Structure 1
Amino acid sequence: MTGWLTDAGLSRTSIGLFGSIFFVYAINFLWAPVIDRFRLPLFRHLGDRKSWIVFLLLIMTAACAAISLISPQADMLWLSLLAMTIALASATCDIAIDGFRVDSLDPDTEAPLIPYAAAFATSGWWTGYSLLGAAAFYMKGLSDMSWASVFSYLALFCLMMTAVVVLFVERDSRRLAQLEKKAAALGQGMWAQIRFTLIEPFRALVQRYGSTIVILLLSFLFTFKMGEAFLGRMSITFYKEIGFSDAQIATYSKMVTWWVTIVFSLIGAYFNHRLGIFRGLLIGGLAMAATNLLFAWIALAGPKESLYLLAVIADGFTSAFATVVLVSFVTLLTDRVFSATQYALLASIANFGRTTVSGGSGYVVDLLNGDWATFFVLTTLMVLPSLLILWWLIRRLQARQFIDRS
């Protein structure tokens, strides 16, 4: 979408603000209790989480197909509404998928597997983001296909993935007995059920850790990937302005990043297990921030492919490592009965900077008069507050014996 809007001539500020429609990722915890509590009647036979995943994939398929019929210049309002529809369906689908993953592992007996589950989740997400992103840019850059036609192919692929989920993802029902037992304990009245669905998941989180730890945790998650979010929001626009072609963007930013992410996600899972949560998050945060300086180097040196390759490899490695550690950390803090809601709350706070605050990234570049090098230096500095909060948070968790002091 960013590539399409750039080609259509929209300003950097407009492109950055357009991306703010994905603020729904930052507030999806508000309706996560519904995903935790209910199954869709029409797809009930598919299971607890799977029914929601299939339904939402169908919505995304329809929205992509509709986008292929319009243009940014003539139908910006409809384009925005359809993009919002995709964002809303995708953010809700994330709730169900994360819940499915968290439910699949017992933290008491399978805790060592959690970093590897996080690695496969990260690899899967990047496969969708990078492989399909590369296909889109290749179709546009090598065959001179229109962006509208590209979206029609993405709609077809989304429909194919829906069929894959229906046929090959097993029906899930592991947590339903615990869920119903807790719901019954609060009573059968309407207010009791509303309280259980909408309030209990959040109350249980505060009751377990205490308000101070929860506030520190939310503050850390909000700030940890802020710099990466600012960089990611404007990266395609930067590559185009600096002089890279659509084919080069597809090769390096999508295909190379895809392989790097998959490989280093698995390596990151191993080191996460060996280093522990605190050291893993600290090292991951510092490394992720430092690699942003490579993009400042590109801004000064110009469109050199060798430097571009170095930057995407380094960025892919540090981003994969930091993501695996972060997902593992959040997973360990999540109650399995309210897994979708609590994980959605924590993940949505982490997404808040990526999806809303970073909407001003284009404005910052315009304010700097297109000084991309300074912009990337600023994104490097953005990680420092989160690391200070992390140090305080870890000390609190250790004092309450929620994590090992080692």
Structure 2
Amino acid sequence: MTDTPPAKKTLWQAVRPFFQRKVLAMICLGFSCGLTLTLIFDTLSVWLRTVGLSLEVIAFFSLATFAYSLKFVWAPLVDRVPLPILTRLLGHRRGWMLLTQSLVMLGLWLISGLNPQENLALMAAIAVMLGFVGATQDIVVDAWRIESADQDGQGVMATAYAWGARVAPFIAGIVPLILAETLGWGFAYALMAALMGLGLIGTLLAKEGVHTIRVIQYGDLPPHPVTEGLEWGGRILLMVIAASLMGAGLTGNINLFQFTFPSPEAFDAVKSVWTSKQTGIFVQLPAVSVGLGLMFLACVPMPNVPTRPGAYLRQTFVEPIVDFFKRYENLAVLILATICVYRLADFLLNINGAFYVDLGFDLAVIGEVRKIFGVVMTIIGVTAGGLSMTRFGMKFSLITGAVICAGSNLAYAWLATQGDSIPAFSLTLAIDNISGGFAGTVLIAYMSSMISEGFAAPQYALLSSLYALPGKLLASQSGRIVESAAKGADQGGLAAPFLPWLHNLPAVSFTKPAETLGVSREALGAGYMLFFTYTAVIGFVAVVLAVWLIRVGAIKEKGEA
């Protein structure tokens, strides 16, 4: 046993691991995952808006991405169920990759042939199907990534994944918009379906890792097909209700429950409370909490009632969780808390698009800086994160990522004082994207290093859902925080100390939105500054937790026992 830190690697020693076949495969697979997620909502929402659909209808399509938050539910099935022919020919992981990528290609091709004004319901159904298939692709790609490298190599594979996953939204967010102007949206989506071929190349390049399917032990429980079918049916129904509640809470949209109301008037009354900025949080958060509770109940065995479905769920869903807590014992809660908080500050920046508009930037400028310059800066951050892990180790990289990620939010507070300055905008975006790329890559590698080889798919799916859900919950309240702070700024509220920094703003900055809100433009700017300061403070909580993890020995470098 030794506490001696590993020697710092030379630059070539840090770079050399990136020149491997599996790294190229990982880039292609990451691209495939990122392309799917972007096309089923972000780009699709632009298409829907250009044909005149309402924002309410478009927001409903965000449910297509909700499957990514719940992928831990069916990850055990993906981990365990072999596919006829494909598993024998390609192996367990690669067989699932090929299936999901083929289905994504098919779904995108089907969407390319639809007119949203005439086939909206069918398009929505295909988008939801793509969300489920895309989340399944994520499950199996993450599992293959973890199984294809030892703990010391997780940083390299996480970096390669991030390279592909970060470039894909750039391609899927720009190319279809350009092509749609001349060749139409159908051609654009058909081309995106063809680009999924890069994922197939990644699957063929990948080598199947070691994966052993554990046999379910039913003991002396005899099969009862009828009662087992009823139990599975009840559990699936409970999952659907739970997912609907969580989706309604996270999106602020309760249209899925419209059929349960006795009259349109009753539905409209509840909807007004549900979507109100003043009252929405008090019903949306409980809805998500109840949904999570129901989802948990649907996935665990019934107490004191042994059944074959219960035995299956115990060994596929409960045992991976128990394994994690057994391995890390008292440190498990601290590790999970760190994962939850590490990127929370970035999730809260979901109002940045509105912030740029309020500052007075043209949409063309926002698009060019975010889509082109921003992607380049993100790739730089991802690369820096990967090199940091391979050269300096996980401890240094985890703390560095937490510090720069939290500090980058203060750059947005500074941007609020600069108005529509393109140099200031570019600098802020560079700081944010570099830090986000760095921290995101490090977090992926850290979570991957926590996983047991026998439970790669379910454990990583659970951790990735865990770190995303709190951010999505709190992000829905970002706008309310800014507006409340702005309304109190002129009366000496918490945002008032920021007012002196905003007296020299350009005339275009915050003027129109401040008039709509009924506050001075300096007050609205102060509201934004206070909000970004809040997010930075939350980010520094992650710094404290990361330092704590290192102090108690929860992070081990190669060569440490």
When normalised by structure 2's length, the TM-score is 0.59
Q: CA deviation digits over 1:207-237, x for unaligned, max 9?
A: 2111x32222222211211111121x33334
Cα distance change, pair 357–20 in 1 and its aligned pair in 2 (3 A): farther
Q: 1:69 aligns with which of 105, 115, 127?
A: 115
Q: 1:344 aligns with which of 454, 461, 474?
A: 461
2: CA distance, partners of 1:159 / 1:278:
41
How large is the Cα RMSD of the aligned pairs?
A: 3.8
2: CA distance, partners of 1:139 / 1:250:
16
Cα distance change, pair 264–391 in 1 and its aligned pair in 2 (3 A): closer
Asked whether 1:265 is paired with 2:382, we answer yes
Alignment of 1:6-405 (within 5 A): 19=62, 22-41=65-84, 43-44=86-87, 45-61=89-105, 63-64=107-108, 65-66=110-111, 69-70=115-116, 83-107=127-151, 111=152, 113-136=153-176, 138=178, 143=181, 149-150=184-185, 153-162=188-197, 164-165=199-200, 169-170=204-205, 172-176=207-211, 179-180=212-213, 182-183=214-215, 191=308, 195-210=314-329, 212-231=330-349, 233-367=350-484, 368=486, 369=517, 371-398=527-554
Cα distance change, pair 93–259 in 1 and its aligned pair in 2 (3 A): same
Paired amino acid for 1:316: N
2: CA distance, partners of 1:168 / 1:174:
12
Q: How far apart are 1:104 and its partner, in Å?
A: 1.0
Paired amino acid for 1:207: K
Q: Which moved more, 1:56-65 or 1:340-349?
A: 56-65
- Alignment coverage as a number of residue pairs: 388
Q: How far apart are 1:78 and its partner, in Å?
A: 6.8
2: CA distance, partners of 1:89 / 1:319:
27
Q: Which moved more, 1:92-101 or 1:380-389?
A: 380-389
Cα distance change, pair 403–158 in 1 and its aligned pair in 2 (3 A): same
Q: How far apart are 1:36 and its partner, in Å?
A: 0.9
Paired amino acid for 2:446: F
2:147–2:210 CA contact under 8 A, matched in 1: yes
Cα distance change, pair 384–264 in 1 and its aligned pair in 2 (3 A): closer
Q: Which has the higher helix share?
A: 1
Cα distance change, pair 159–43 in 1 and its aligned pair in 2 (3 A): farther
Paired amino acid for 1:209: Y
Q: Which moved more, 1:283-292 or 1:354-363?
A: 354-363
Residue 416 of structure 2: SS of its match in structure 1? helix
2: CA distance, partners of 1:70 / 1:215:
46
Larger Rg: 2
1:22–1:84 CA contact under 8 A, matched in 2: yes
Q: CA deviation digits over 1:21-78, x for unaligned, max 9?
A: 644333311211111112333744343223333333344445555386326xx99877
1:397–1:403 CA contact under 8 A, matched in 2: no
1:135–1:250 CA contact under 8 A, matched in 2: no
Unpaired segments ≥5 residues, structure 1: none
2: CA distance, partners of 1:94 / 1:172:
17
1: CA distance, partners of 2:420 / 2:119:
33
1: CA distance, partners of 2:178 / 2:415:
23
Paired amino acid for 2:92: D
Residue 382 of structure 1: SS of its match in structure 2? helix
Q: Which moved more, 1:238-247 or 1:284-293?
A: 238-247
Q: CA deviation digits over 1:256-276, x for unaligned, max 9?
A: 232222233222222223443
2: CA distance, partners of 1:204 / 1:281:
24
Q: How far apart are 1:349 and its partner, in Å?
A: 0.9
Paired amino acid for 2:204: V
The aligned counterpart of 2:261 is: none
Q: How far apart are 1:363 and its partner, in Å?
A: 4.1
Identity %: 23
Unpaired segments ≥5 residues, structure 2: 1-40, 224-307, 487-516, 518-523
2: CA distance, partners of 1:76 / 1:158:
20
Cα distance change, pair 239–60 in 1 and its aligned pair in 2 (3 A): farther
2: CA distance, partners of 1:255 / 1:347:
27
Q: How far apart are 1:254 and its partner, in Å?
A: 1.9
Paired amino acid for 2:78: I
Paired amino acid for 1:220: T
Cα distance change, pair 404–363 in 1 and its aligned pair in 2 (3 A): farther
Cα distance change, pair 60–245 in 1 and its aligned pair in 2 (3 A): farther
Paired amino acid for 1:213: L
Between the two structures, name the one with larger relative contact order (CA 8 Å, sep ≥ 6). Answer: 1
Paired amino acid for 1:345: L
Paired amino acid for 2:325: V
Q: How far apart are 1:80 and its partner, in Å?
A: 6.0
Cα distance change, pair 46–84 in 1 and its aligned pair in 2 (3 A): same
2: CA distance, partners of 1:118 / 1:85:
27
